[in-house]
């Protein structure tokens, strides 16, 4: 068995991700409305941006969206969609990849946080330095 790393899941499912039942069954419109309300004027950072299921509708609402993803295959799918090329994405493990800027909202969808191995991961410290609004 090969080692399972930060990009493994995305690399394995990128071609079918947008058609997976657990993705199709999500209430994306409601999630986007809630995230947009929490973000205010933005900008926002999505950890595990993937194919852009949430990022693209947020950008369409006028928010500046940035992302981090470990899977180049998932980001390639994002880039193939209308507007996907305009979203800056840092490639790497969101626990330790650096991103410039401050964000009114940093969020993650689904179970992406399970990729963190402990509460001491660098993400827990790094995210605090990038969030300008903690709660509304």
- pLDDT tens for residues 17-53? 788 777 776 788 999 999 999 999 989 999 999 999 9
Say what the pLDDT of residue 118 is: 56
- Distance in angstroms (rounded) separating the CA atoms of residues 130 and 73: 26
More confident residue, 82 or 118: 82
- Distance in angstroms (rounded) separating the CA atoms of residues 79 and 24: 20
Q: Which pTM does this prediction carry?
A: 0.81
Q: Is residue 1 part of a domain?
A: no
pLDDT tens column, 106-131? 998 876 655 555 556 555 545 544 44
Say what the pLDDT of residue 120 is: 60
Q: Which of 10-14, 22-26, 28-32, 92-96 is the least confident region?
A: 22-26
Q: Is residue 36 part of a domain?
A: yes
Total domain count for the chain?
1
- Distance in angstroms (rounded) separating the CA atoms of residues 33 and 126: 26
Q: Which of 10-19, 81-90, 94-103 has the highest mean pLDDT?
A: 81-90
Can you give the CATH number for the domain in which 78 is found?
3.40.50.150
pLDDT reading at 7 higher than 90: no
Do you know the residue count of the chain? 136
Q: Is residue 3 part of a domain?
A: no
Determine the structural domain holding residue 12 and report its residue range: 8-130
| pLDDT confidence tier of residue 55, bands split at 50, 70 and 90 | very high
Q: Is residue 135 part of a domain?
A: no
Spatial contact of 63 and 36, defined as CB atoms under 8 Å apart? yes
């Amino acid at each position: 068995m090969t080692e399972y790393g930060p990009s493994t899941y995305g690399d394995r499912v990128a071609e079918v991700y947008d058609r997976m039942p657990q993705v199709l069954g999500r209430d994306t419109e409601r999630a986007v409305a809630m995230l947009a309300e929490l973000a205010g004027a933005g900008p926002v950072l999505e950890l595990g941006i993937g194919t852009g299921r949430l990022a693209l509708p947020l950008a369409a609402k006028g928010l500046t969206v940035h992302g981090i993803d470990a899977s180049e295959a998932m980001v390639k799918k994002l880039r193939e969609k209308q507007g996907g090329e305009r979203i800056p994405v840092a490639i790497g493990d969101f626990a330790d990849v650096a991103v410039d800027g401050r964000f009114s909202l940093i969020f993650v969808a689904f179970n992406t946080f399970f990729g963190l191995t402990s509460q001491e991961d660098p993400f827990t410290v790094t995210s605090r330095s990038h969030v300008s609004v903690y709660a509304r």
